[in-house]
Each structure stands twice: as C-alpha cells, then as structure tokens.
Amino acid sequence: MKKPYFIILFCIAYCFNGIAQNSKDNLKLREDNIEEILNALTVEEKVSLLVGGPGNLVPGAAGYTREITRLGIPMTVLADGPAGLRIQPKREGTNETFYCTGFPTSTLLASSWDPELVETVTTAMGNEVLEYGVDVLLAPGMNLHRNPLCGRNFEYYSEDPLLSGKMAAAYVRGIQKNGVGTSIKHFAVNNQEINRLENDARVSNRALRELYLKNFEIAVKEGKPWTVMSSYNKLNGEYTQQKQGLLTTVLRDEWGFNGIVMTDWGCKENTVKSAKAGNDLMEWGNQVEIDRILAAVNSGEISQKKLDRNVRNMLNYIVKTPHFRHYQFSNKPDLNAHAAVARKAAEESIILLKNEGETLPLDGDEKVALYGISSVDFVGIGTGSGWVNTEHIANMQEAMTNAGFTLDEDLAEYYRLCYATQSATEKMNGSSIDKRHRPEPTVAVQAIERQAANNDVAVFVLGRVAGEGADRVVPEDFELSAIEREMLQNISLNYHKLGKKVVVVLNIVGVVETASWRNLVDAIILPWAPGQEGAYAVSNVLCGKVNPSGKLPMTFPINYMDIPSSKNFPYTWDMTQGRRGNRKNVDFTDYTEDIWVGYRYFQTNDVEVSYPFGYGLSYTDFAYSKPKVKASKDGFTASIKVTNMGRVAGREVVELYVVAPAGDLEKPICELKAFAKTKLLAPGESEILTMKVSAYEMASFNEGHSAWETAAGKYQVLLGASVNDIRAAASFRFGKAQSWSVQDVLGEPEE
Ligand code: BGC
C-alpha cells in the first residue's frame, strides 16, 4: 500500500473508532435499548443490579437498588407500607417535615368489601409515594388470615382468598396509577411471625392452590404489580425465595407475571439458588451476596442466560420508575386532602357487630362516659414495618368532642393521666412501648355508679396492638384481661340499672374473643385499626352521620381452639419438644387443617361461631329480590335487586356463594365466588347488582390430577348478607366438566 492511502485509511479508522467510543460513552438506558444495555454491562455491573445496596436518598426508606451512572441506570428507592408510606418524618439540617398519611389498615379496608374505595385510597397513597421520591411501595401485605394470632394480620386482608385477592388487586391499581410500583408480599404462606425467617410451612397442594396462592394469583392477574416480594419462610422444605416452581413456573409461566421478584429483607444461605429460581433482586443486599453470585457466574453455576434474564427483568423495572424519568418530586403531597380520603375510607368500612334495641345511632348531643385507655392511646395502625409516621393520630376523646358529644371530663382527665403515667414509666425504664400489654386502668365501682348517674351513655374503647416480629397470645390479648372483664361487668350493671346503654368500640388489630361478654353490652362497633382519622369516623358512626356498611372479612370464633389451625400455631408450641430444627410450630408448621380455613370449616361442619364471615349490621334494612342467574359454558352471571327498606340511607354488600357438585373432591359447603356493594341507597331506593363468575373461578384443585377442575352438575348460587344469612338462591346445571392442568412443582408436605 502506498503511504498516502495508508494515512487516509488510518484517519478514517481512527474517526470511526472515535465515534464508536463516543457513542459507547453516551450509551444510556432507554425504554427501547435494554438489549443494548445488557450487552454493554460488565459481569460485575450485572451482578450489582441483582443485589440491593445502601442509599440515603429518602431517609427511612427500607432499601435501594444500585445505580450504574455510566449507563444512565439510576438508583431506585423502596419503602414500606401498607397503611401508608413509611419514611422518616424529620431530617437533619432542615425544619421541613416529611409526614405521611396513616390510612386505614388493610383489615379495615377489606371490611369495606369495596375495591373501588380501596383504589381511591391507594391512588392518594401512591401520590405520597411519588411526591416523596420513592419508586416502589413495599405493599400490600396479603397473606391469608389463617389464624387470628398472627401478629401481622392487620397488614393483611381476610381469611378468604377471593376477597383478599380483589382487595390487593385494587390496592395495586391505585398505587401504580401514579407511575410508581408495588410489591405484593409475602409470597407465600407467611402466616406466623414466630421463627418467621426459618419456619417451614408444610401445606398440601390443594390448600396452596385454593387458598394461599389463590389471592396472589388474582392480584397478579388483575393488578399487575411491578414487583413481588418472596417471603422469609420455607414452603414444603424449601425457602420460597429459592423455589423455582413457585417463582418461575407458577408466578411467571402460569400467571404471566413479568415484573421483578425481590427477597424479603435479609441474606439467606444459598443466594445462588435464589437467583436461579427467579428471584431477581436480593434485599436489602450486601457484598456477600454479590460475591456469591459473581463466583457462580464465573464458575458457570449460573448461566449467562439466567444472569441476563434477571438483569433484563431489573432493567425493565427500572425504566418504569420515577427516578429513571427524573421526576421532580415535591416533598409536598396534599396531606389535608389525603386525610379526608382516609376518614371517608374508614367511615365506609367500619363494621357494626351488635345494635340491640337500636342503641345506635346516638343523638349526638349526649353526655358520654368514655372508658378505656385506648380512648386516649387510640390504635390507628399496628407496629413494625407496617407502621406509618403520621403527624397525628386522632383519639376518641378529641374526635367525640369534635362531633358534639359532651364527655365526662373527670373521667377523660383520669385516662389522660393514666396514659401520661404509663408513658413516663416506660420512658424512665427505657422499655419500648409494648402497647399490647398496656394495662387497662381500673375505675372503682363507686365511681362507675356515679358516672352512670351523671351521663347518658357509656362507651368503652377496647384496644389491641400487635405487629411484625411477634404473634399475639390468647390470655389478655385474644381474650379479655381480668380488669377489662370486670370493667365491662361493672359498667354494664350500673348503666343498665338506670336504663342506660353501653357501647363497645373494638379498636383492635386482630380478632378477639367476643362470645363471653357481648351480652353485657348493647352495641359493638368494630373499626379495627382505622388510621389517623379513624376516631373521627367512629364518632360519625356513633352519632349517625355515617351509616355503617362494613362486613367481617373473617370469622369471629367462640373460642380460640375452635379454629382448626390453632392446633398448629405457635401459641400451642412446646419449647421443650424436640431439638432445634425439629420443633413443631416453630421450625415447621403442619397445615393439617388443609383447605378447612375460616368459614370453609365452620360452615361445612356446622360449628357455632360468635360472628360469621361476611357479617355486619346497618342502621337500615335491605330487601333482596329473586335473583336472575344466567349460565353458559364460560360460567354464569347473577343479578339481584337490593332495596333500602328503612328510614335512613345506606349501602349493602351482597355476597355470592356457590355450592358446587362434589365431582371427585370433598368440597366446602359453599365458597365465596363474587361480591358487590350498592351505592348509597336512599330510603326506598333500589339498585340491581350484577356479578360474573367464570368457569375457571368455579374450579377446585384436584391434586391427583394436578389440575383445576370444574365439575359438571347442579350448582347453587346463594346471595346473602353474610355466610349464614342467605337471602336469595337460584341454581343452574353446568353441562360439561372443564379442567386446567398445571405443573406439579410445589413439593409435598413432609409426613
Ligand atoms: C418485612 C417486610 C418489609 C421489609 C422491609 C421485613 O422485615 O417482613 O414486610 O417490607 O422488612 O422493611
């Protein structure tokens, strides 16, 4: 080659290289160049995307994903829910505050039986997530209420998978409307807090499919969450986060999930197995996990294909986030507007359990003797990661005064002093406030007698707190304490002697025993833990501004041991039994009750309960018309007219239960398959509610065939105001059996 040509060629090559180098340097993540970014990432960078890292973008956030600035991959922020966004309210170097709204807890939201309401609530909540600079809310929690003692039940919805799944799907839709993500958790079968990191839940495939996975299936298909959080526990001998059958076969291949799976917080042995199983992100993430994955990639234990699969999922997640969009968050969500949403949601969800002789509503101008330490220390939210840093949680004293009631001021002052003394003692002793055991102060009988004479009515607020890391217990928690019982007896006796009424407000995070004392009182309101504005909502129900329309999302049993899972719950553990690794209900829990959870058990076996699933009263009455049921090979549609027969406006929840032919299986006597709630009906007004159930939704799971099966035969459709208050029925024949096979990948419970 002659010299001039050589020089020209050299110059051209140099320029091209420069351009290529330049465009490589300029390569930044976009929605449409994920494959290109995958090619540009080094192995180390890829691995770093799979392991959470430190950060301080939003103080109080639970975790972060790692950034790679050279490729425009931002750090993203993950923070807890579900009753609101959980971040630190104060920051160093500024007087600005970062409070969040404490919305009603999930159990109360589920009591609304109103997915639209839930979506409205979480649309507001998601705005706080966005405006405080967070990308994913680690919520909703949606494990089933297998047993009332699970300490986190307030973060969860129901004993029934359909109700739980529909609520979670609505929750996800509302949050994600804001362009931020959710993480449905804890996937799956995380039903106890004791030894939650290691407990092996041993569950049959049928119970898994019909109950413990069903709600997640509904939430994934109908809510499309950006992320799923795998739980800490094991399932049939394997950690859920390492269970390929669960995280890939069921979640992605069967249900079509296409987001990321992240671990619950901590670092388990065998990170490599987690990554291979389809767990994309290790949270909170540490160097050990990075080293383990890197070594496995280098040795070929994790294939390039699997590594890229997880990284691709991460990139697809990242391009959806506000941090990727460079969203300029304000740190100024409209907390006043959201407080109004929180209050309305509580009002629409509160349950009226008892209302003897129309005790309620009160006139609103009564003189009220307000009892109970929880009237001052109101339980707005549970504890643990489900706690929200709100600026204020209204208590019953302020809310009732605000609603126009006149409180017995001496009594109110007494409780304020008791609370102050208890708090001061706790502070002095440096003990953390374990509110569950906050003792109920006594009021002397003579004082109660005097108060009965001086007031028109008694309202007793009974409180219970629990949260992450501990389960509840039976004495003085599920059951009343001796003082609480004595107080109720003395109040009942003295007020009733003078023809005055007694009302109980159950300000509780989980089910309590009610059968032994409910006859002592005239009315019972159940607001659960209703969030920062909940006390106002309770006051509005007491004075009749609001007509309650909530219904129980679980059964209230008569005794704790009536519940089948109570035989296999840590409360009945025996620490002396076996060696470590072999303690029943601690190291492993046998779900021997199988599918017989909640009303499925109580109804089928005709076991008496204190309040049945789906139960809740109103200040008005509703009439149900004859239903119309239209069946096809794809399922059926039922419609029914509901008319308000009373004197005040109200809303009614109609529950649709199906009695299915047995086919090859033993089945619950009936199962909830749909529900609908009327709008606010004026006296005399009607509304036609229509509910659709598909053939797939009618199916039961046949383990022998590893298939969902809808048997042919006669189906009864029951429409009721609770599971044992059926108001209308119809039936149809389903001509041809249908089935849907699935892979048998969830393992078997050990014998
Ligand atoms: C909890 C999760 C929570 C996470 C981050 C874990 O201990 O189980 O529910 O999202 O911590 O705070």
Q: Whose CA is nearest to atom 6 of ligand 1?
A: 265
Distance 477 CA to ligand 1 centre (A): 24
Q: What is the reported pLDDT for 426?
A: 84
Buried b (16+ CB within 10 A) or exposed e, 87-115: bebebeeeeeebbbbbbbbbbbbbbbbbb
Cβ atoms of residues 587 and 198 within 8 Å? yes
What proportion of the chain, given as a percentage, has pLDDT over 70?
95
Instruction: Tell me which residue has its CA closest to atom 9 in ligand 1.
Output: 385
Cis peptide before 548 (omega within 30 of 0): no
pLDDT, residue 530, reads 98
Report yes or no: 117 and 106 within 8 Å, Cβ to Cβ: no
The predicted model gives 424-432 an average pLDDT of 81
Which of the four pLDDT bands, split at 50, 70 and 90, describes residue 437? Answer: low
Site to probe by mutation for ligand 1, drawn from 64, 65, 78, 80 as the one with most ligand atoms within 8 Å of Cβ, is 80
Beta bridge partners of 367: 406
Atom of ligand 1 nearest to the CA of 80: 10
> How many C-beta neighbours within 10 Å does residue 365 have?
12
- The model's pLDDT over 655-703, given as tens digits with 9 standing for 90+, comes to 999 999 998 899 999 999 999 999 999 999 999 999 999 999 999 999 9
pLDDT digits (tens, 9 = 90+) for 624-658: 999 999 999 999 999 999 999 999 999 999 999 99
Q: Is residue 237 predicted with pLDDT exceeding 90? A: yes
pLDDT of residue 363: 96
- The whole-number pLDDT of residue 581 equals 72
pLDDT of residue 10: 47
The model's confidence at residue 11, banded by pLDDT at 50, 70 and 90, is very low
pLDDT tens for 27-64 read 999 999 999 999 999 999 999 999 999 999 999 999 99
Residue 13 pLDDT greater than 70, yes or no: no
**Span from the CA of 80 to the centroid of ligand 1 (angstroms):** 7
The residue contributing the CA closest to ligand 1 atom 4 is: 265
Q: Mean pLDDT across the stretch 329-350?
A: 98
pLDDT of residue 579: 57
Task: Round to whole Å and give the CA distance between 269 and 267.
Answer: 7
| Nearest atom, ligand 1, residue 386 CA | 9
| Ligand 1 midpoint to CA 183 (Å) | 11
| Per-residue confidence band for 15, with pLDDT thresholds at 50, 70 and 90 | very low
Category of 737 on φ-ψ map: left (φ > 0), alpha (ψ -120 to 50) or beta: beta
Ligand 1 surroundings by CB, under 6 angstroms: 62, 80, 138, 185, 264-265, 385, 468
Distance 666 CA to ligand 1 centre (A): 37
**Stretch 258-263: mean pLDDT:** 98
Once rounded to an integer, what is the mean pLDDT over residues 226-242?
A: 98
Evaluate if residue 5 carries a pLDDT over 90: no
- The alpha-carbon radius of gyration of the chain (Å, integer) is 28
Question: What confidence score (pLDDT) does residue 482 get?
Answer: 97
* φ and ψ at residue 268, rounded to 5 degrees: -95, 160
**CA 688 to centroid of chain Cα atoms:** 30
Average pLDDT over residues 313-333: 98
**Pair 454, 408: CB distance under 8 Å:** yes
Q: State what percent of residues in the chain have pLDDT above 90.
A: 92
- Average pLDDT of the segment spanning 191-204: 96
Dihedral angle, C-alpha 410, 411, 416, 419, nearest 10 °: 140
Query: pLDDT at position 294, please?
Result: 98
Handedness of CA 337, 338, 339, 342 (dihedral sign): positive
> Residue 93: which pLDDT band, with cuts at 50, 70 and 90?
very high
Ligand 1 atom index nearest CA of 385: 12
Tell me the pLDDT of the chain averaged across its residues.
Answer: 95
For residue 147, what pLDDT is reported?
98
User: 353, 615 in Cβ contact below 8 A?
Assistant: yes
**pLDDT at position 583, please?**
87
Cα separation, 134 vs 77, in Å, equals 5
Phi/psi of residue 536, nearest 5 degrees: -65, -40
Altogether, the residues listed in the chain come to a count of 751
Q: Which atom of ligand 1 is nearest to the CA of 139?
A: 10
What is the model's pLDDT at position 578? 56
Over residues 567-613, the pLDDT tens digits come to 999 875 555 555 567 888 999 999 999 999 999 999 999 999 999 99
pLDDT number for residue 574: 57
Among residues 29, 46, 121, 100, which one has the least CA distance to residue 321?
Answer: 29
pTM for the complete prediction? 0.96
Say whether pLDDT at 252 is over 60: yes
Tokens (6 digits) for 135: 């990308």
The SS3 of residue 658 is strand
CA 272 vs CA 199, 289, 609, 709: distances in Å: 21, 8, 47, 36
CA-based nearest residue to 372, from 391, 395, 343: 395
Q: Which two tokens stand for residue 119?
A: 């979506």
Picking from 17-26, 230-239, 409-418, which range would have the lowest pLDDT averaged per residue?
17-26
Q: Which atom of ligand 1 is nearest to the CA of 284?
A: 5
Query: For residue 146, which phi and psi values (nearest 5 degrees)?
Result: -70, -40
Which residues does the annotation mark as catalytic? 264
Mutate to test the pocket of ligand 1, among 227, 385, 389, 468 (most ligand atoms within 8 A of CB): 385
Spatial separation of the C-alpha atoms in residues 338 and 358, rounded to whole Å = 33
Rounded Cα–Cα distance for residues 434 and 189 (Å): 27
| Strand pairing category for 227-230 and 260-263 | parallel
| Per-residue pLDDT at 582 | 81
**What's the 66 CA to ligand 1 centre distance in angstroms?**
19
C-alpha 468 to ligand 1 mean position (Å): 8
Q: Which one of 154, 184, 265 would you pick to mutate in the ligand 1 pocket, going by the greatest count of ligand atoms within 8 A of its CB?
A: 265
